[in-house]
Amino acid sequence: MIRHLLHELAKDAIDPVAAARRGLRPPLPKRFYQAAGVGEREGAFVVLLDGKIAKTPAKRPLALPTRALAQAVAAEWAAQSETIDFAKMPLTRLVHLAVDRVADEAAAVAAEVTKYAGSDLLFYRAAEPAGLAAAQAAAWEPVIAWASEALGAYFTLAEGVRFVAQPAAALIAIRIEIGKFKPPFELAALASATTLTGSALLALALARRRLTFEQAWAAAHVDEDWNIGRWGGDAEAAARRAARFHEFAAAARLFEMLA
C-alpha cells in the first residue's frame, strides 16, 4: 500500500536521470494562472489560483488544516515559471497524496507503516567491518533506546540481513503510536518518511522531534555513506538520492507545519 502510494508520489522525481534517458516524462503542462495565494473556506485554508480554489488530481479542493501549510504549498505554485513541474513541488504532491488517497485508505496505510516496523532498517546490523558497525550503533542505538523508553517497544536486534521476528508486544506498542497520527496529513507525512528511510522508527523519531531532519536522513544512509567513503559515489545514485532528499524534506516540513 505505502510502496504503491509513494511510487505514485515520487514517479520520475525519484530517478530523474533514468527518466530523462528513457524519455518517460510527458510534456509539462502550461502555467494557467497569474497568482497563487491562500484563502479560508469552511474552517480550512485553501490554495487559490487566480482566486479559484486549486484542485487535486482527483478534483478535490486543495483544503489544508493550517495557514502555514497552505502558504507553503501556494509558494510552490507561485514559483513555477511558464510550465508546471510537479517534480519541483514535493510538498504539493505530498498533500495531493494525503487528500486523494490517504484520506480514503488511512487504516491500510497505518497498517503498512506498522509492517515496516516489523523488519525495520535499524534492527539489522553489520558484524564487520568494525567502522561500519560502530557508525550504525552511533546513529541507531539512540533511536532504539527512545522507542523502548518512550513507547515501551523492546525490539530484537540481529547481525546480517536474515529476517528476525519481533516481539508482538513491541509491534503492538508501535501500532498504538502510529494510531495517534491523524489522517490524512500527519499519516501521509509519516508514511512518506517511513518509505523514504526504510524505517518506521526513524520516521516516528522525526515526527516526535527525537531526531532532527538532518539526523534522521543521515541515520537512514549510514550504510550508503560508508560505502561511498570507501569506494566513491555514483552520479546516477546521487541524483536519485537528491530527489528522495527533497521528498523527505517535504515530509519533515509537513510535520512542522501541522504542529
Residue 60 lies in a domain: yes
> What CATH number does residue 64 fall under?
3.30.2180.10
With respect to residue 16, please indicate whether it lies within any of the assigned structural domains: yes
Chain segment 97-128, per-residue pLDDT in tens: 999 999 999 999 999 999 999 999 999 999 99
pLDDT value, residue 138: 97
Domain holding 26, by residue range, is 2-84
List, in sequence order, every beta strand (DSSP E) within the chain. 36-41, 44-49, 52-53, 63-64, 124-125, 158-159
Whether residues 37 and 163 share a domain: the answer is no
Q: Nearest Cα to 189, choosing from 210, 219, 213?
A: 213
Q: Do 172 and 78 belong together in one domain?
A: no
Cell 510527458, residue located: 26
Same-domain check for residues 157 and 236 = yes
Task: Tell me: do 127 and 249 sit in the same domain.
Answer: yes
> How many domains is the chain partitioned into structurally?
2
The reply to whether 134 and 234 lie within a common domain is yes
pLDDT (tens digit per residue) in 10-38: 443 445 455 555 556 678 999 999 999 99
Position 91 in a domain: no
Considering the domain boundaries, does residue 101 fall inside one?
Answer: no
**Low-confidence spans in the chain with pLDDT less than 50:** 10-14, 16
Strand partners, 52: 49
- Let me know whether 78 and 125 are in one domain: no
* 122 & 71 share domain: no
3-state secondary structure of 217: helix
Percentage of the chain lying above the pLDDT 90 cut: 84
For residue 51, being part of any structural domain is answered with yes
**162 falls within a domain:** yes
Q: Do 71 and 110 sit in the same domain of this protein?
A: no
